[in-house]
Structure 1
């Protein structure tokens, strides 16, 4: 600590700071692209509803409690989101073979179609961005793949997972999907 009470910060290399700032700027641009893609969905869709669809596409059918935990909301909020998605025909509740008292939430064909539409909108916007790179995408893809891998190794769990728009679970680089917690009753 310094005499002023501020925490001493080790100076980073100028190139590292510039790269980190560029990534922050890029993340804002990417968030904007994502928000516009969700807004352009063929049905009225909120960002939390889109997140639920992506979680189910990534991990397969899920209990509402697991969705609530991953969203960081209470179970009644997650249940209301799921109810709206059920009402739109984007997900359905099915019985859980491990616990007949519980239900799982899974994507419908329409839910997969909406995810595909959002994905295609995002992809088109990103292709426009890549087309604007003066030297083209030849060196861009390998650099972004390295950044993604580095972030996945040092980032929070699930950061490297990529949902498939056909509804089947998948993850990056051939890694198995994130393990799901046991489906038994949870006490809190």
Structure 2
């Protein structure tokens, strides 16, 4: 008797393919919807002309939520604001705000699965990259001739490639400031120079610092 593959069996197999199977899994989910981005990318933040991004929303998320979040990369809209005193940072999604808040609260809910490690992390992605320090995995290779560098994370790879290209896609949006950066982390730390607030106190004297 021929083996008949059920919907659940097919989904299980395709899911095991991880990243390669994403588009296949999308096609198999009857209660999911795909939304095509119609925006042009923003060159000032490193975007390429046109945008082919697609975002999936399933029955657990509001209709069009994924695309709305993505669209903010084009418009620059950041509707989620940190409520901490002296912090002027804003974010595109509530998830990004939550990750930022953990830097203030010290919350690190994601534990390294290696028994000999015991490290905790603010996001699952940071944990995933950290695990590669145990396995030695470096899946991102520089394609420049003569450069043999490899990296554990896509972010470090992208930052490295800008050494070759000279690209500085991260721009300060404060009026009158023309600072540009190769890494998002540098832009993330930069806004403090535009505020007089100095939240860090010396434990031995009355001096404060940014």
Shared fold (TM-score greater than 0.5)? no
The structure with more radius of gyration: 2
Larger relative contact order (CA 8 Å, sep ≥ 6): 1
Q: Could you state the TM-score of these two structures normalised by the residue count of structure 2?
A: 0.25
The structure that is helix-richer by fraction is 1
The structure that is strand-richer by fraction is 2
Q: Could you state the TM-score of these two structures normalised by the residue count of structure 1?
A: 0.27
